[in-house]
Amino acid sequence: MTTSAATGPDPAVLEGNLSELSKSRPVPAELLAAARHPESIQYVNGRDGVPTFQWREADGVLRWLGRTSMPSVSSAALIEAFQPGSANVLLYALGSGREARSLLDRLAAHQAVFVVEPSASAAALA
């Protein structure tokens, strides 16, 4: 069961990030700024107590940001057995953003995490 999070994310954080991104990458910044989220989107605490987003699709199916109702548990389980070696990492979909952060924490300074996120809305929410 989830409960509503007390407050939503601070809009100033996204605005500041978009402002900085627009200096070097104006097109992605514009895509993120123009992203449209589902009408039913709610900022809630996931089953693990971590704030996240959920919404209902037109067919009534409940969806979660990053496809998980437990972002901290799911990201830890995904990253736990990963062995990056000396290569860079490619993630398909940003999820909640925790996975990319966890990977960056495990990589050497010369390694990178590249993320392919097909949804501007998901990227903006993360």
pLDDT of residue 90: 94
**Range of weakest confidence among 8-12, 24-28, 60-64:** 8-12
Residue in the structure block whose two tokens are 């490619």:
90
SS3 of 24, please?
helix
pLDDT in tens, 83-108: 888 999 999 999 999 999 999 998 99
H/E/C letters for each residue in 54-118?
A: EEECCCCCEEEHHHCCCHHHHHHHHHHCCCCCCCCEEEECCCCCHHHHHHHHHCCCCCCEEEECC
Phi, psi dihedrals of residue 56, rounded to the nearest 5°: -110, 135
Would you place residue 4 in the very low, low, confident or very high pLDDT band (cuts 50, 70, 90)? low
Give Rg (Cα) of the chain. Answer: 15
pTM score, two decimals? 0.84
pLDDT of residue 2: 59
- 120: pLDDT strictly greater than 70: yes
Distance CA 53, CA 43 (A): 5
**Range of weakest confidence among 15-24, 38-47, 71-80, 89-98:** 71-80
Residue in 98, 46, 39 with CA at minimum distance from that of residue 70 = 46
